[in-house]
Structure 1
Amino acid sequence: MVELKNKKILLGICGGIAAYKSADLVRKLKECGADVRVVLSQSAKEFITPLTLQALSGHPVADSLLDPNAEAAMGHIELARWAELVIIAPATANFIARLTAGMADELITTLCIATEAEVVICPAMNQQMYQHPVTQENLKTLALRGTKIWGPDCGSQACGEVGPGRLLEAVDITQRVITYFHHVSADKPLLGKRVMITAGPTREAIDPVRYISNHSSGKMGYALAVAARVLGAQVTIVSGPVALTCPSQIAKIDVESAEDMLKAVMTDIDKQDIFIGCAAVADYRIEQASSDKIKKSAEKMQLALTRNPDILATVSALPQRPFTVGFAAETSNVVDYARDKLKRKKLDMIAANDVSIADQGFNSDSNALQVIWDGGQHALPAMNKQILAHQLMSIIVENMSNK
């Protein structure tokens, strides 16, 4: 069974008698291929030992808000970023009340607030506690905030009473996790994929105060980064100098020159599933940039230029390359030049635009593209770059699945 292969699941366990079921839950999630990390509340250690859960999960169990063995002693942030799904099982009435109040005084509640992953709580408590108006109001509040509530079951309880409040069985929670990830995969076709996008212009130094560049604003590349992230991808932007804020949940590497950009790209390219060369990379650089400011003297000055490295061609020539998409900014014969570039650089796809048209392309909020691949072409009319980026990413995903 590998329905949950490599899925990163963070399991939080609260201090209730139902904690004994959590050991079986860890085992079943692992059997389905999941990578499971466990966090215990302080009271949970009275019911189940960290050693048991470490043996079952294969990872040390966390229970401290500030972990001296973690990077920067902030294990709560590391775990919060790592998780694809957070499950609290069992979730006690105390935990539910503290999470509703936004308390971050213990690792288990802090993780639920610090993570961007979906949070699921599986209530488990005495039936009277569960049905109490304050518990019901807390659950309603959490649900309105987007927290998923799974369970509880109804039946006999450890206290001898009968009613709602039993923790769902491990097999039931596991099946719900499988169903959850199936739904997520349908909505997020790039989940688990890595996408690298170059964006903006490059600057090629003439001397310490002057450079050669172009009019690229980086808006198209940044919009593509957002679109890829929405589809579930882990995204990195390698960005030339732009006046844009990096979107949330996206890694950014700042570069200046074409050589800087190539170095940044090649450092991590072997881990990428998709590479989109959206940056307007300067074709040439100064052969020998001056270390001092060049003084104005003669009426004319000649600058010797040398060709810059071709980042797209370098990536597409790799033996194990990612799905490689190029951009072509043209002022005439747009489709013909783009087809030539597609073939010459052996790209999987190219998106071409006519930058001679006013309010389209460089420094504009709108763009229009001719998307071309071997055996196909799709025209995307002028529209806002944010919307255009989502349409282009859909075409990329469709073509990837057909390769």
Structure 2
Amino acid sequence: MSDPEVKKPKLLLLVTVPDSLIFFEKQLKSLSHIFDVTVSCAHDSNVSTFIESEGVNYIPLFINRQFSPLHDVRTVYELCKIIQSVQPDILHVNTPKASLLGLIAGFLMRVKVRLYVCHGFAHHSRQSLAAQKFFKTLERIRCLLSTHVLSVSSSLRDELSKLSGSKKVDLIHNGSINGVELDGVAKTFQLAPTYNPSPNSIEPFRLLFVGRVTKDKGINELFRSFEELFSEGINIALQVVGKIENTYYIDEIEQMSRKYPGNFSYLGFLDDPLPIMSKNHLLVFPSYREGFGMVIIEAASVNLPSLAFRNLGTTSIIESGINGFLTPEQTSCDLTSIIRSLIRNPEEFNKVKSNLADLASRYERERVIAATKVYLEQLLRY
């Protein structure tokens, strides 16, 4: 007589938009050996492929990213029905809107373990004081409604601990939510080129931006810096990768493409940015706010150094001048000054490349997933 099948504990994972599922690539498949995993988010053409590849359950749910009281109340009601249907042992909420509404529903439905994963703050210093206070209040509410709080970086953990008061904030491994896959990267992709210009070289210094094309990611400062360097006669090129979130930037990018043919290009959203990373000299990541900055680790995995604005996430990863570069302030002038200096002093630029393999190895995906399994299993004993 065969042993009865052991019933797995249930995990319900919430994100607002399908794009955020990339944070859990291969992780959910691994977790499904331990948990009965269900994912809930809006539906798009890529969700079915992701769900099938991870081998998990899926319940579609549209969540409006903007604040809409009537729609938000209805969404909480829908989430309560999903929770009633799934009966999760762990409610795993991510991204600001899904976290807030999911935690409200989880609290109302008395889910025993309500895990809030903070990927970064919505507030930053460029907002009005009223806006900062509003977003900080929402952050405190999320922490209050959760039973456990998880941060994706040490700096973010420390700030969130101060913001939430007595709530303990956890950190898995060295940080990040899913790490970076290193196995086979060196065999699959060439490493980013070393910058060694000769007096007669026609090869430009190649800059790359990877991220959402939006104001908060510092795209305005990057464009101003590129144009200033180009106007100085510096041989420079810029490639932009990512989804355009504001229609204003469609016209802006078209103008840049016409004005700088051969030196500026927009490549749209790429599922895998590593091939294009391996063909550039410097990743520029001027985000105003960041919880971690996964793109910096991805770049490091193909030996591409990063220049970033100083914020909570980037200061957890980059030691300026050692394994990358940080601006003193979040300005286009600082970007311009550092890029100009690196072009004129390639030795200073190239020396950080020897430390990038070690940086990437600190966030190796298999180790992050293994630590995540242990952490989630511990929560079941809560």
Q: Is TM more than 0.5 here?
A: no
TM-score (norm 1): 0.32
In terms of fraction of residues, the more strand-rich structure is 1
Q: Which has the higher helix share?
A: 2
Instruction: Report which structure shows greater RCO (CA 8 Å, sep ≥6).
Output: 2
- Give the greater-gyration-radius structure (CA): 1
